[in-house]
Amino acid sequence: MDFQLSDEQKMIQQAARDFAIQECLPGVIERDEKQKFPKEQIEKLADLGFMGMMVKPEYGGAGLDTISYVLAMEEISKVDASVSVCMSVNNSLVCYGLQEFGSEEQKQQYLVPLAQGKKNGELYIGAFLLSEPEAGSDATSQHTTAEDKGDHYLINGTKNWITNGSSASVYLVIAQTDRLKGSKGINAFIVEKNWPGVTVAAKENKLGIRGSDTHTILLTDVKVPKENRIGEEGFGFKFAMKTLAGGRIGIASQALGIAGGAFERARDYAKTRKSFGTEIMNHQVIAFKLADMALKIEVARLLCLKAAWEKDQHLNYDISSSMAKLYASETAMWVSVEAVQVHGGYGFVKEYHVERLMRDAKITQIYEGTSEVQRIVISRGVLK
Ligand code: CAA
Ligand code: FAD
């Protein structure tokens, strides 16, 4: 077993670290306050090849492995989780889903520009539309319908909580075609945002990842050509689950980065802040807190890398990605709360960043399957 990163993986890690410090850190507090989508940062990430990291070069991607993706997600999330969630959705839900399950025509038309993050010089990214007001964790309970009209489908329904909702050009939409068939009657479709019947509705005012644009999307008699269905009739729910298994590695890495960012700030602060005549790191209770943080982060990193490695080896990674997501998100929450504590009152104000990391950490326990859903997946796996 080799725990060394390759030279290429180290190079990607360093590039992501530099990008986070140089491009994401300036203005991160203001973007959070004003809920400003980090368009400039995403465009630059696209130029670096980070919006289609695991897509094969013949489809416009960087052709990197999932381990490199984890490393890049971790570094960027240490600084700005609003940037990294946009990157995660485009890479591991949209591009992965199309590369793995799309037809050659779908790949040429949609994957190539999505992997580059640009089309005709303009930002071109995707969104993943599974959740609905009545179908979050209970994802098979789709109310959105896709009526089979022969040469096309007619889609009607409401999707909510959609990341990249207003900035994406392409939506992967999950909808029910045949209710009698349950999850086997669900399809997945490629829908363009500017098609008639698609409305970008309310933007959410959120606790964390406030730079990310989260919207409700209304679909009213949206005519979708048959060739825009992904996979065979009835493949939509399996498509969503298989794609989410990879997506969860992305969110696990996001959580890992949030935890790492909070830890580094707490560690550096503890080395300089003095109380009772000494740096606070010399109070054992603080030192031990830092030790526990470092330990949990290391375990989370190993779980993320193992899940990524299994994906790269084409092994089944359903359980390991859920384990990584569950553990890393619980770690992000715990570490970021403790990082605020290490900062005392200074941790409670914006300039020290840890309060934002703490707010951002919470979402990692909710989206792409709550911690309870990850326990469902893991328990079913171990009890099988
Ligand atoms: N691979 C292939 N097939 C799978 C699968 C997988 N990983 N998981 C389930 N399936 C199949 C099952 O085998 C079953 O098919 P058969 O009937 O042929 O056996 C079918 O799908 C239905 O599966 P279940 O019976 O397990 O379904 P369930 O109703 O019990 O739900 C669940 C399972 C794990 C809870 C699932 O509904 C789930 O993952 N819910 C959470 C949804 C979620 O993660 N949403 C995220 C939205 S995207 C997002 O959040 C993006 C973002 O924030 C940035
Ligand atoms: P519910 O499913 O109603 O769950 C409520 C509570 O009950 C949770 O604690 C849950 O764990 C628990 N619970 C539910 N069922 C069970 C059970 N069987 N056993 C034990 N506990 C259970 N979705 C998308 O499709 N695309 C996106 O891009 C996207 N981005 C998002 C961005 C943000 C900022 C947010 C907040 C959400 C996003 N989501 C997205 C939706 C997200 O995936 C859902 O919020 C999540 O899956 C939970 O669904 P819910 O909110 O309906 O909660």
pLDDT tens profile 351-361: 999 999 999 99
Tokens at 167, concatenated: 């900035």
Nearest Cα residue to atom 34 of ligand 1: 377
Residues of the chain with CATH 2.40.110.10: 126-234
Residue 2 pLDDT class (50, 70, 90 cuts): confident
3-state class percentages of the chain: helix first, strand second, coil last, to nearest 5? 55, 15, 25
Mutate to test the pocket of ligand 1, among 93, 140, 326 (most ligand atoms within 8 A of CB): 140
Residue carrying structure tokens 């859920």: 322
Specify the pLDDT at position 300: 98
Residues of the chain with CATH 1.10.540.10: 7-123
Q: What 3 state SS string does 236-269 have?
A: HHHHHHHHHHHHHHHHHHHHHHHHHHHHHHHHHH
Closest ligand (CA of 92) = 1
**Partners of residue 217 on adjacent β-strands:** 159, 200
- Are the CB atoms for 177 and 147 separated by under 8 Å? yes
pLDDT digits (tens, 9 = 90+) for 294-330: 999 999 999 999 999 999 999 999 999 999 999 999 9
Is the Cβ atom of 163 under 6 angstroms away from ligand 2? yes
Global confidence as pTM = 0.98
Nearest Cα residue to atom 38 of ligand 2: 161
CA dihedral over 356, 358, 364, 367, signed as positive or negative = negative
Is the Cβ atom of 69 under 6 angstroms away from ligand 2? no
Ligand 1, CB within 6 Å, residue ranges = 85, 89, 128, 130-131, 137, 139-140, 163, 183, 237-238, 241-242, 244-245, 318, 367-369, 373, 376-377
Distance 241 CA to ligand 2 centre (A): 14
Catalytic residues: 368
Is the CATH number of domain 7-123 1.10.540.10? Answer: yes
Residue-averaged pLDDT of the chain: 98
Is the CATH number of domain 238-383 1.20.140.10? Answer: yes
CATH superfamily membership of 126-234: Butyryl-CoA Dehydrogenase, subunit A, domain 2 (2.40.110.10)
pLDDT digits (tens, 9 = 90+) for 66-92: 999 999 999 999 999 999 999 999 999
Specify the pLDDT at position 1: 81
Parallel, antiparallel, or unpaired: how do β-strands 170-176 and 122-123 relate? unpaired
Q: What 3-state DSSP class applies to 219?
A: strand
Specify the pLDDT at position 149: 97
- Are the CB atoms for 293 and 269 separated by under 8 Å? no
User: Cα–Cα distance between 189 and 223 in angstroms, integer?
Assistant: 11
Parallel, antiparallel, or unpaired: how do β-strands 126-129 and 170-176 relate? parallel
